[in-house]
Amino acid sequence: MVVHGGFWRSQYDATLGTPLADSLAAEGWAAWNLEYRRVGNGGGVPATLDDVAAGIDALAGTGLDLTTVLGLGHSAGGHLAVWAAGRQGAGVPLTGVVSQAGVLDLRTAAADRLGAGAVQDFVGGPPDASVDPLQQIPLAVPVRCVHGRDDGNVPLSQSVAYVDAAQAAGADATLTEVEGDHFVLIDPSSPVWQTQLDILADLATR
C-alpha cells in the first residue's frame, strides 16, 4: 500500500507515489497506489482518514493473498500509513509499515507550524489520539522509520521522537537514518530506495 505525501494538500496527488508503485511491481510486489481526498478538495479529518481506511479495506475484494499487507508512506503519507496500522477493527489490517520521513508527532508539528500550518489545516483543531501516531503508541505491528539527515521539510526529530517513544513502550519500531533530503526517499534511482526495498522484504518475512 503506497500512500503519497504532500502535507495532506490537494495540489499533491497520487502521481507522487506512481514511481514507487511501478518499482515495487517490477520487484514482484502487488502495489496499490492509494489516493485520498486532501485539504482543498474535500479532505481533512475525518474524510482523508475515511478514504485511507476504505482504500486499504478494498483490498479484500481483489483476490490477493492478504497474509502480508505492508504500508509505505512518505511525509503526510507516512502519517496516514502509521495511523492506518493502528486502526481498530480494520477489514484489512496492515502487518507492518515503512514510514518515509513521516509526520508522526502531530502535536509538535502543529506547534512548530510545520508546512506553514499544514497540521492545523488537516486536523481543524488540536491533534488528539484519534489522529496522532505518537499518541497511539504502542502499535501491535512493526514500524520502520526511514529519514534523511538533511530533510528540510519534515525534521528528522519527528521520526526520532516516534521511535524513541515506541521502543520505550515495548513496540517494534526502528529508525534508519540515510544521507539526503526529503525527496531522496521517493527516488527509485537512489541507493536509498534499495535500502527501503530491503526493509520491506524483511517485514514480509515476519
Q: Are strands 143-148 and 173-178 parallel, antiparallel or unpaired?
A: parallel
- Residue 56's pLDDT is 98
- Contact (CB, 8 A) for 66 and 35: no
- In this structure, how many other beta carbons lie within 10 angstroms of the beta carbon of residue 13? 15
Q: What is the pLDDT of residue 83?
A: 98
Which has the closest alpha carbon to 81: 144, 37, 170?
144
Chain center to CA of 182: 14
Q: pLDDT tens digits for the chain (206 residues)?
A: 999 999 999 999 999 999 999 999 999 999 999 999 999 999 999 999 999 999 999 999 999 999 999 999 999 999 999 999 999 999 999 999 999 999 999 999 999 999 999 999 999 999 999 999 999 999 999 999 999 999 999 999 999 999 999 999 999 999 999 999 999 999 999 999 999 999 999 999 98
Q: What is the DSSP letter of 189?
A: T
Which residues have C-beta within 8 Å of that of residue 173, sequence separation ≥ 6? 139, 142, 143, 144, 145, 162, 163, 166, 167
Q: Which residues pair with 73 in a beta bridge?
A: 3, 99
Domain boundaries, the chain: 2-204
- Is 131 in contact with 49 (CB distance < 8 Å)? yes
Ramachandran assignment for 105, one of left (phi > 0), alpha (psi -120 to 50 degrees), beta (any other): beta
Of 1, 141, 144, nearest in space to 66 by CA: 1
CATH numeric code, 2-204: 3.40.50.1820
